[in-house]
Chains A and B, each alone.
Chain A
């Protein structure tokens, strides 16, 4: 890794200069007006290495099959979102701290209840029509329509009058007040700090869709083969489940893309390294276990950027009743905090991440990925749970877990046999079982007898969600989004609070952080509450936070202008092919 630091510095400087050059270049192009061809101009004006060449095609691969729902209002998987990312745009964008930034629209609010959105003028749909606020109203009313079959209603529900519209009691959503083609006032049902990041922020081309009844939209050809957007690329040919052709949108409002085409191609994950090496794909997400192989390739750059997911080992503290929305039964087996601390200290997380994720990850001590703006500084967290088997053993001794029958394993404080039943999901990936085994060995070493159960993954999540018998200690991962609110995974009335952890202080803090009366519009105040919450979870250990992972992309060196931060890639119109 020594040599890499220098290399990273260099490439960061290079990327930065590219970015700056691209920015200023973009301004130039905007002032030039629409009629001109963009291809020649760029090359004449700029000199030196960071001059984006015009034209060319790159192949962007994804290693799992998309569902093929090419309509942002209906998509359900991250893979479909990847494919759509080249052609649709959101009203708001996120910066490297995941704070919202104006994109197609900017906004103002005084009270977090009523927002005024101002749209960019002159943004064109791929068919040449202009984007107006009516397209957004159309999107919101489609999603709130009783016949809508997609999963996004939760993002519209909070607008005043959306419920009435959804039940068919109103002709329109009363909270949407169109001022003119570029201005709209949106009123939410109550003031919330996360109204903005929660609301559905993609417009839908009204003119293009208005003749299609909402109930037919999902299966419609326009969803499957002919999607419509405002983004830097427009759709060309589609071979369902296999490849998608994107053609440069020369009228793109941020400046025409440098590339002529992007081909998005589905490939089998076994072919990822070979295809990268061979130059048959230019960009592809790489699994951490293959990271080292890709790093060794001479023609490919490995780009890592902070991820938004973390892995954990959870404990079942009880059972959840989904009807009553509360935790109804308690499981005392892992209730002793010292036991959990001991299990935490027993794990050598650095070693484990190095062994099973090629080192592309960092241990975390609280359940928030460190690149998020609400993440507590590691120094603010009291415990860092370093690898310390001696301390772990001492903690177990203190708690009364001692080996009384001399079999080498500890018994519980009552003197009865104690076995940690640890569950992990299985797949065709052979490292899964190895990494689970490694964890059981750490615990065996401090005298806790551990048994591993590998379960097929859909059965696994089903069993965990339903608190099935036999699930006690389980391995899992969560990914978080732009909205920092962890309530859905942590509040005691939530189905996805999988450990069934009930803590009044935690619930209170999570509520306060969303309460306008407590935090107002002050970000720092909100962050302070989340920090307090993370300190609580750091001490109480409802789960053992293992590590956050980096996202890894393999990018062929012939591709330039690509940048990644925690919010994903930069705009694809800045990508180009080096000479």
Chain B
């Protein structure tokens, strides 16, 4: 197991290097730079922009720029955001809590919906309700999230007035009080619901199919023969076995939590990493963009690593040569 683990971890290193190269060159290949949008005679003048370009090193040869970036990066200096004019690590630290909060709540919603629907559908396959659940899941999978987001705002915020349509907290409250936390929860529910509901399809169908498979197995027949109640068979015997394949998703779940939701956060003006990533792309804010891209890639690798290791623990055949 140890050898297996070490091998998996070592495999990440070259991957990270390659990703850093790709991220860097893709970012630089974007047309224009962070300053090309700033032509505004009221606000700045060409000399200032030229001076900033020089200062930011945009005029240096590309390999010099890469070397400078990667050496700083490894030493933990992620640079200064060109748009926000503050260190990228501070910027990320400012927004990470929002993103994690949204991620966890939305995952809770996903699990809740997926388990409820998947268990029901697996128990009564090929019934009308099973088809309805399947249909619903594929519909959610098919609807682009920006449509769902706008629709949810229209319905739940503007028509029904149940939830706020933007922001992460009511600004008038003092940070840290119970009211403040409640307000945060209140603000996160709608985006989390949209995000959570959109992600149920794969969980539900995986769970459903696995339950159907398992229900044909010998141990289920034995349990039935013993006279164990149906609900007990499904909720304990089968479910325990059917949850195992969902480990595949666990790695991705970690990524989901930190990655943020680009579109959802933007539509709900929920200041998290997803929104930050999107703005940094739009404004060619290289330091922020590259740090986030690398961070997300790293997390995907870690997520996969965790999934692999968990597989190794659950299923010994995998860690054998």
Contact = CB atoms under 8 A, between A and B. Distances in A.
Asked if A pairs with B, the answer is yes
Interface of A: 65, 67-69, 74, 76-78, 149, 151, 153-154, 218-219, 224, 236-245, 261, 263, 265-268, 270-271, 274-275, 277-278, 280, 322, 456-459, 461-462, 465, 478-481, 488-489, 494-496
Nearest to B45: A154
B32 A266 contact: no
B178 interface: no
B269 interface: yes
A270 to B, nearest CB: 6
B165 A275 contact: yes
Contacts of B268: 268
Nearest to B270: A242
Given A149-B85, A236-B171, A461-B37, 13 more contacts: A69-B85, A218-B85, A219-B90, A237-B171, A237-B174, A240-B271, A266-B166, A267-B165, A322-B50, A459-B31, A479-B41, A481-B41, A496-B46
Contacts of A488: 41, 45
A196 to B, nearest CB: 16
Interface string B168-187: 11011011000000000000
B202 interface: no
A461 B44 contact: no
Nearest to A247: B172
Interface in B51-103: 83-87, 90, 94-95
A151 B44 contact: yes
Given A458-B37, A462-B31, A462-B36, A239 B171 contact: yes
Given A266-B166, A462-B32, A465-B36, A479 B42 contact: yes
23 contacts: A76-B44, A78-B43, A149-B85, A151-B43, A151-B44, A154-B45, A237-B172, A241-B271, A242-B171, A243-B167, A267-B165, A268-B267, A268-B269, A271-B153, A271-B269, A274-B154, A275-B166, A278-B157, A458-B30, A461-B39, A462-B33, A495-B46, A496-B41
B266 interface: yes
Contacts of A274: 153-154, 157-158, 165
Contacts of A462: 31-33, 36
Nearest to B173: A237
B284 interface: yes
A456 B31 contact: yes
A92 to B, nearest CB: 16
Given A267-B269, A274-B153, A76 B43 contact: yes
Interface in B141-162: 150, 153-154, 157-158, 161
Interface of B: 30-33, 36-48, 50, 83-87, 90, 94-95, 150, 153-154, 157-158, 161, 164-169, 171-172, 174-175, 266-271, 275, 279, 284
Contact of B269 (A69, A242, A461, A494): A242
A278 B267 contact: no
Main secondary structure of the interface of B (DSSP, over half): loop
A271 B152 CA distance: 11
B158 A458 contact: no
A240 B95 CA distance: 9
B31 A278 contact: no
Given A77-B43, A154-B45, A488-B45, A268 B32 contact: no
Contacts of A239: 167-169, 171, 271
A219 B166 contact: no
Top 5 A-B residue pairs of the complex, sorted by shortest distance between their CB atoms: A459-B31, A458-B32, A481-B42, A241-B271, A462-B32
A458 B31 contact: yes
A240 B92 CA distance: 12
A176 B10 CA distance: 64
A465 B268 CA distance: 35
B174 to A, nearest CB: 8
Contacts of A495: 46
A68 B39 CA distance: 20
Contact of A270 (B83, B161, B267): B267
A271 B31 CA distance: 30
Contact of A277 (B44, B94, B158): B158
B171 A245 contact: yes
Contacts of A151: 43-44, 48
B39 A465 contact: yes
B271 A265 contact: no
A242 B167 contact: yes
A245 B171 CA distance: 7
Contact of B41 (A69, A266, A489): A489
B309 to A, nearest CB: 37
A322 B46 CA distance: 10
B81 to A, nearest CB: 9
Contacts of B95: 241
A188 B161 CA distance: 58
Nearest to A271: B165
A425 B165 CA distance: 30
Given A244-B171, A280-B165, A270 B150 contact: yes
B32 A154 contact: no
Contacts of A494: 46
A87 B7 CA distance: 58
A241 B42 CA distance: 24
Contacts of B85: 67, 69, 74, 149, 218-219
Contacts of A479: 40-42
A243 B172 CA distance: 10
B150 A266 contact: no
A224 B86 contact: yes
Contacts of B40: 479
Nearest to B265: A268
Contacts of A322: 46, 50
Nearest to B268: A268
Contact of B38 (A76, A241, A244, A268): A76
A271 B190 CA distance: 14
Contacts of B94: 240
Contacts of B172: 236-237, 245, 261, 263
A69 B153 CA distance: 29
Contacts of A270: 150, 153, 267
A335 to B, nearest CB: 25
Given A239-B167, A278-B161, A480 B36 contact: no
A242 B39 contact: no
B171 A153 contact: no
A239 B187 CA distance: 14
A227 to B, nearest CB: 15
Contact of B87 (A74, A219, A481): A219
A458 B41 CA distance: 17
B48 A154 contact: yes
Nearest to A63: B269
A480 B86 contact: no
A496 B171 contact: no
A150 to B, nearest CB: 9
A459 B32 contact: yes
Contacts of A267: 165-166, 269
